A and B are shown apart, each in its own frame.
Chain A
């Protein structure tokens, strides 16, 4: 990834599934090393956008440049330096924690694999549990494991699709500590969430509604612009405005 590029550039990005337009002509930029929050009601098009940026869904129109690489032209190139954690848990239930991490370390061609896996287990707070079958883990641990395997190869851009849904507050806080640490080390983090408290942790946010980005800025800027005390009020007023149209 070339240093002079912003992490993500989106221009008029559109995705249609038949007659339904899931993402409708959106444009914005995400800077390097930023924690970028992606807010929106269910079905607003957040996951579709993230999937396109990860190179696993083809845009219908528009352009997306991730780490200086065009997602439509060479999606396989994008996949080498991004990490992705999908909304639905998608590791192997019948493999142990260690086996899952080993597998993704192998897929990503991580060097000094054993060390990397041990480090990942350590930082995910799963030490002592590495031989446990993944299917038997509580949701919080599963999400920690998903994150650990998504950053196995030290990606420069990390896409997290609702990483903390269904997770208890303590695990959620730990999760965000990890995210912040990653960002401090230069990783760009692109994260979708439902929790307004989490939105406050983001450097910048965008709010999506019905496939369109209707607001973008830092938490402070958004509160100021819409004259609200909390992000929740900003979000509710923006989304409701749309429903009343």
Chain B
């Protein structure tokens, strides 16, 4: 391994990035943009759910309860119903997403300290909003009515603010895609521009080539990480309960793993267009769908669950959430770090095997 050679390649690669506004934009601007877009847009909080009311009791107690609902940020008044038919119509028309039905004997039951049951009709076509509406309604009702003394305490994210759980996962997903995209061009570009022919006529070794290529993009990846974490803390107000060192260590390893995936794609594809598209599909889709970022892994079929275990992003999403919100390392962080390391080693070994410093593979 010749250090001078690695340095020459790294320096050249940095110059490429600096001279090319597109790759600079992809490296630094896109992650910020994605974080802002998804951070605000993908918020799973519901607020101002239009709520209609059918108050059959029409008493002081029932009106108090209704006020509790409409005063909360989660709901806003959207009409009054006087019959079963009304409640169905108002949901059908879309004027209200939920209807609160208070039975005629509501006040009496409360007075007698008997369990009083109120009904919430929810538009289930958007199951996510529905689920959250029910959760909120449950909370409001239990607070208002003393009969039900039980309360639910949500751990780690007491406000159930989904921004808190989304942002750490989002950082993982964005780094996942950007890191792979960055390196996906760097080998294919040399083939496409014909510069590879000159390079392979020199005594440069494969390892020197790969390390020289990885170093600059690793630096960009780390800059992205720093920007993303700063945005999480100061723009979105997500608390960092765990140690910064844990965050740096886990992220550092993950960035390396994903850069390796990108460089393998670039080596195999040999065309920049194909390589970047492959990188997008291979990292973004599994990262988004199967990593546990959006969908709960425990709710997936066993086969799919097994697949999620092979995706680096799965480990990174859960580790970042753990470090940010729980403030611990999780149950067995070494296992996850070991997986990421192993993954990178396997991918780089495949790249070495695929990378031929001659024209015969073309």
Taking beta carbons and an 8 Å cutoff, which residues of A are in contact with B?
51, 54-58, 75-76, 79-80, 82, 84, 86, 88-95, 99, 102-109, 149
Contact = CB atoms under 8 A, between A and B. Distances in A.
Contacts of B5: 106-107, 109
B185 to A, nearest CB: 13
A55 B358 contact: yes
B19 interface: yes
A58 B197 contact: no
B8 A103 contact: yes
Contacts of A106: 4-5, 7-9, 11
A55 B202 contact: no
B236 to A, nearest CB: 37
B203 A80 contact: yes
Interface in B138-197: 193-197
A107 B205 CA distance: 10
Contact of A57 (B7, B11, B195, B359): B359
Specify the main secondary structure of chain A where it touches its partner: loop
Given A51-B359, A104-B202, A56 B12 contact: no
Contacts of A82: 201
A90 B195 contact: yes
A95 B358 CA distance: 24
Contacts of A58: 358, 360
Interface string B330-349: 00000000000000000000
A137 B135 CA distance: 68
A12 to B, nearest CB: 19
B198 A86 contact: yes
Contacts of B358: 55-58, 75
Contacts of B8: 102-103, 105-107
B2 A109 contact: yes
Given A84-B198, A86-B194, A94 B203 contact: no
15 contacts: A51-B359, A57-B358, A57-B359, A76-B203, A76-B205, A82-B201, A90-B197, A92-B12, A93-B193, A95-B16, A103-B8, A104-B202, A106-B5, A107-B204, A109-B2
A56 B194 contact: no
B300 interface: no
Contacts of A99: 12, 15
A51 B2 CA distance: 25
Q: Which 8 A-B pairs have CB atoms at the shortest separation, nearest pair first?
A: A106-B8, A84-B201, A90-B198, A94-B19, A90-B194, A80-B203, A79-B203, A103-B12
A114 B304 CA distance: 57
A13 B84 CA distance: 92
Given A91-B198, A95-B12, A56 B2 contact: no
A104 B204 CA distance: 10
B270 to A, nearest CB: 15
Contacts of B15: 94-95, 99
B274 interface: no
B200 interface: yes
Given A56-B200, A103-B11, 17 more contacts: A51-B359, A54-B201, A55-B201, A57-B359, A84-B198, A90-B193, A90-B195, A90-B197, A95-B15, A103-B9, A104-B202, A106-B4, A106-B7, A106-B11, A107-B203, A108-B203, A109-B4
A103 B212 CA distance: 12
A105 B12 CA distance: 12
Nearest to A86: B197
Interface in B187-239: 193-205
